[in-house]
Amino acid sequence: MIEVKNIDKSFGNIQVLRDVSFKFERGKTNLVIGQSGSGKSVLTKCIIGLHAPENGQILYDGVDFSAMKKKEKKTIRTQIGMLFQGGALFDSLSVIENVIFPLKMFTKMSRKEMLERANFCLERVDIIDKNNLFPSEISGGMQKRVAIARAIVMKPKYLFCDEPNSGLDPLTAILIDNLIKELTEEYNMTTVVITHDMNSVLEIGENIMFIYKGNNHWVGNKHSIITTPNKEVNDFVYSSKFLKLFKEKMN
């Protein structure tokens, strides 16, 4: 479980996060949703240690991340898998080498064992016969899958996904969402997904935090988000014509 307590973060005079608190539960897909510029990505970067918050605590299974020694932080980082918006695959490495990379750096596995594990992860995300291709030679959806395979290759305890569906068609987006949900249950991970895609929210939102102007404005799940009377959440949820129409029909 990851717990954030009273996080504040500013850039110069602009305060991006204000007193944000939330519990990201293990074995569940925890969603951070909100409009662009609301502070979702900054919150994630604070949690994974790329930004240092001015105030507050980030607890990984009860242990304060900021109070950890360098070595302990390094250990935690090897337990984190991250799926970036654009995939962030290494251009100079082939698909298989991208997936093997964390194993090469942090394990004493033989080449054969590494290949077995990497191939298992690639098959798990339905990437077959693409091992020797480079990221530029595969589609955006495939890049996301390879990035997921790389994120889970070390059997992480925590998985972070930054807008996993951006740039994907609706069908591929659903496949990626379901894959994230399945893997979360399979590895019993604490998964944090940052998104503003309502399809994802309704598909995998087991535990949802809505950020509005840097505040933790609303907390719920994929069922309660449909019926909440909260105005800001409603504006966000029913911003698409399709959902607006759906709501009118339901009424």
Residues that bind other proteins (CB under 8 A): 48-50, 73-75, 77-78, 80, 82, 84-86, 88-91, 101-102, 104-106
Q: Six-digit token pair at 158?
A: 């925590």
Q: Is 22 left (phi over 0), alpha (psi -120 to 50) or beta?
A: beta
Q: Please state the closest distance from residue 135 (CB atom) to other proteins, in A.
A: 10
Q: Please state the closest distance from residue 1 (CB atom) to other proteins, in A.
A: 19
Positive or negative, the Cα torsion across 171, 172, 176, 179?
positive
Q: 92 vs 251, which CB is nearer to other proteins?
A: 92
At what angle are helices 111-124 and 95-106 packed, to 10 degrees? 130
Contact by Cβ (8 Å): 164, 176: yes
Listing from the earlier edge strand, what are the strands of the sheet with 63-64?
Answer: 14-24, 2-11, 55-60, 63-64
Q: 23 vs 73, which CB is nearer to other proteins?
A: 73
Q: 106 vs 120, which CB is nearer to other proteins?
A: 106
Q: 10 vs 78, which CB is nearer to other proteins?
A: 78
For residue 223, the surrounding DSSP H or E stretch is none
Q: 87 vs 205, which CB is nearer to other proteins?
A: 87
Q: Please state the closest distance from residue 236 (CB atom) to other proteins, in A.
A: 26
Q: Please state the closest distance from residue 180 (CB atom) to other proteins, in A.
A: 17
Q: Please state the closest distance from residue 229 (CB atom) to other proteins, in A.
A: 38
Q: Please state the closest distance from residue 81 (CB atom) to other proteins, in A.
A: 9
Q: DSSP secondary-structure letter at 215? A: E
Q: 82 vs 168, which CB is nearer to other proteins?
A: 82
Burial class of residue 70, CB neighbours in 10 A (0-12, 13-18, 19+): exposed
